[in-house]
Chain A
């Protein structure tokens, strides 16, 4: 069972470069999320999509954009990467955000911005 698949697993960017992190889930979940994990900060929500066709800002949305391409896919774009965006990024999904169902996580993307 694939669950939540995110790519790439590792990426190194130079300041100012752009990239898109891809995420897909095969569990027919309504809600999808992007988190970043930094030492001592836990997981912080960047953006989420409660259902297909909707997206909302989380705690730390600046410098990011998202697209809920369809029910399966939710991408995260860095238009002009900055060193402060060096982090581990996790995509997650759940059946429904409004019922606080448990999250299923992807394996993470380790991003370094030089």
Chain B
């Protein structure tokens, strides 16, 4: 079965703190893709990153970084020096060859307090 779990429903941090959003996935596919999307208060979902199952290198983009560990089936997202504009709901998703579908987690609502 394909499944994505985001155990953190809501997180609040004070501006400039670092925060990590957890994502754990389940799949029996050997080839799969992992994604993070951001949904700001405006409601539209915005793509942040896509990683395939063969590339476990961590990635950094500005204040954002992602840690992919196949051994623990996790794809965690860290925001360094958080800002108010980071306040949003963040979704982790799994793209699996089986069924040609994307499987989304339930999302983590992040509030950054000024």
Residues of A that sit less than 8 Å from B by CB: 31, 33, 35, 40-45, 48, 50, 56, 58-59, 88, 90, 92, 97-98, 100-108
B64 part of interface (Cβ distance < 8 Å): no
B45 part of interface (Cβ distance < 8 Å): yes
**In the complex, A44 Cα to B103 Cα: how many Å?**
8
B101 part of interface (Cβ distance < 8 Å): yes
Assess the A102–B100 pair: CB atoms within 8 A.
Answer: no
A-B pairs with CB below 8 Å: how many? 60
| Top 7 closest pairs, chain A to chain B, by CB | A100-B95, A100-B33, A42-B106, A105-B45, A43-B104, A97-B100, A42-B104
Given that A102-B50, A107-B43 are known contacts, is A41 also in contact with B101, CB under 8 Å in the complex?
Answer: no
From A43, A100, A101, contact of B91 by CB (8 A): A43
Given that A102-B35, A105-B44 are known contacts, is A45 also in contact with B105, CB under 8 Å in the complex?
Answer: no
Assess the A42–B43 pair: CB atoms within 8 A.
Answer: no
**In the complex, A48 Cα to B101 Cα: how many Å?**
8
Assess the B102–A103 pair: CB atoms within 8 A.
Answer: yes
- Per-residue contact bits, chain B 18-58, to A (CB 8 Å; 1 contact, 0 not): 00000000000000110101000011111100101000000
CB distance from A111 to the nearest CB of B (A): 13
In chain B, positions 91-109 with a C-beta closer than 8 Å to chain A are 91, 95-97, 100-102, 104-107
**In the complex, A88 Cα to B107 Cα: how many Å?**
15
* Chain B interface, DSSP helix/strand/loop, else mixed: strand
Interface size class of B (residues with CB under 8 A): 20 to 34
Smallest CB-CB separation from B100: which chain A residue?
A: A97
Smallest CB-CB separation from B101: which chain A residue?
A: A45
Assess the A107–B44 pair: CB atoms within 8 A.
Answer: yes
- Per-residue contact bits, chain B 68-81, to A (CB 8 Å; 1 contact, 0 not): 00000000000000
**In the complex, A45 Cα to B104 Cα: how many Å?**
9
